[in-house]
Structure 1
Amino acid sequence: MFKKLSRNLAKVILPALGYLLMRFYWYTSKKNFHVKGQISQDQSIVVCWHGELLMAHQAYRYFHKKQPASCIVSKHFDGEIIANIMRYFSITPLRGSSSRGARQVLLEAFRALKKGDDLLVTPDGPRGPRHTVSDGAIALAHKAKAPVLTVHYIPKRYWQLKSWDRFVIPKPFTTIDFYMENVSLEGMDLNEARIFLRKKMLANTVH
């Protein structure tokens, strides 16, 4: 009973605290944007590593303030917290992962793409291995026939957790360099697209 009550309380309190913390880092940092090509308002598949969730989605919303958007979030308890944080950014969570509810969440993702949503994906989430690109992310990009927008950041000063994703937390009042690029996977098979996208995503990220 106590465990259930504490979890329900955490689902309410932690997302609000997480959102406030994210906005604190955003507003107290100096931001440099390095955009390769042009960021349009057309539909995109937006990708970042799981360890970059703290700032990457905020950078996306900086350029796409009103674009309808959905994101794939795991069904685990920590995924529930992330899902509720995403709602603060007007991003609709689609619950599922490669290990739990994969088929259902892919169907929901295809529906979101069909109605015109941007789709935000962490190709190495929710459990890793770190900096790998899942088949699902490639399949969604091929299905949408839309460009893939890669979003990454490198803070000048930061903490890095010892979690599997080596989660990156910028230190307050630091400078953060954001790197964004539209890339196309058109005409590539699954393996070729995976290698190409991973190389692009690793170009400007904390290792």
Structure 2
Amino acid sequence: MRDLFRQAGIIVIPVLVYVIMRLLWVTCRKRFHNLSEIDESQHVCVCWHGELLMSPQAYRKIHPEHKASAIISSHFDGSLIAGTLRFLKIRPLRGSTKKGARQVLLQAFKSIKAGEEVLITPDGPRGPRHSMSDGAIGIALKSRLPIFVMNYQPSSYWQLGSWDRFVIPKPFCRIDFYIQSLSLEGMEIEEAKEYLKEKMLEHTVI
């Protein structure tokens, strides 16, 4: 019976989450701040786990037709995220850079070779919040791609008590999106991790 409820949840919950995402997107006033030029060139794309409600929609606003995939954990909550992102035409790569790292990284490099952009939450799937895993940095350095950073700050919001302090903008608020492209060329991995973390924390809800 429990498995039956889980399977039903995997079908129903993503639909409900997507409807909520779209309602918030339509009702909220949005301002986009391009901190650097973003064109249609290929990137590795990142946002914090706590900003997953709106950041993928911002990605699709800026890159409406670009083929994309996202590294998503194989846990149950990952299945819900994967089901939701499919509505945005973002293909899931199941696994994480902590568990099953080799397999999911191979999938990511195959996606990049096929011309897709890969989306990653550096502090996912289980935190700690605003930590920086090696995954996004390693993929960007090895593939020699820049990083596409997506952050947002709502003028009014709810914040859950979960490990990622998940941010839910309130309807009809103003949302400021901060978008930037960062080059990691010439950096060592630890230097790149510190640099990316610093940039991602500049325009996020603390």
Q: TM-score, normalised by structure 1?
A: 0.98
Report the alpha carbon displacement of residue 68 of structure 1 after superposing the two structures with TM: 0.3
| 1:69-84 to 2 correspondences below 5 Å | 69-84=68-83
2:28: which partner in 1? 29
Runs of 4+ in 1 over 3 A off after TM superposition: none
Whether contact under 8 Å (2:97, 2:105) holds in the other structure is: no
1:126 aligns with 2:125: yes
1:110: which partner in 2? 109
Aligned residues: 206
User: Secondary structure of the residue that 2:38 maps to in structure 1?
Assistant: coil
1:43: which partner in 2? 42
Report the alpha carbon displacement of residue 98 of structure 1 after superposing the two structures with TM: 3.3
User: Secondary structure of the residue that 2:176 maps to in structure 1?
Assistant: strand
Whether contact under 8 Å (2:97, 2:104) holds in the other structure is: no
1:174: which partner in 2? 173
2:88: which partner in 1? 89
Report the alpha carbon displacement of residue 8 of structure 1 after superposing the two structures with TM: 0.7
Gap regions ≥5 residues in structure 2: none
AA of the residue aligned to 2:81: I
**Whole-angstrom distance in 1 between the partners of 2:99 and 2:120:** 16
AA of the residue aligned to 2:83: N
User: Secondary structure of the residue that 2:204 maps to in structure 1?
Assistant: coil
Report the alpha carbon displacement of residue 99 of structure 1 after superposing the two structures with TM: 3.8
AA of the residue aligned to 1:63: I
User: Secondary structure of the residue that 2:53 maps to in structure 1?
Assistant: helix
Give the share of equivalent positions with the same residue, in percent. Answer: 53
AA of the residue aligned to 1:143: K
Report the alpha carbon displacement of residue 100 of structure 1 after superposing the two structures with TM: 2.7
1:7: which partner in 2? 6
**Whole-angstrom distance in 2 between the partners of 1:73 and 1:129:** 16
**Whole-angstrom distance in 1 between the partners of 2:100 and 2:77:** 16
1:19: which partner in 2? 18
User: Secondary structure of the residue that 1:188 maps to in structure 2?
Assistant: coil
CA deviations over 1:149-203 (Å, ceiling 9, x no partner): 1100000000000100000000001000000010101100011000000000000
More off after superposition, 185-194 vs 135-144: 135-144
Q: TM-score, normalised by structure 2?
A: 0.98
**Whole-angstrom distance in 2 between the partners of 1:131 and 1:144:** 24
CA deviations over 1:14-49 (Å, ceiling 9, x no partner): 011111111011000000100012110010111100
**Whole-angstrom distance in 1 between the partners of 2:181 and 2:44:** 9
Gap regions ≥5 residues in structure 1: none
User: Secondary structure of the residue that 1:66 maps to in structure 2?
Assistant: coil
**Whole-angstrom distance in 1 between the partners of 2:98 and 2:195:** 24
CA deviations over 1:75-118 (Å, ceiling 9, x no partner): 00000010011111000000001343211101000100111101
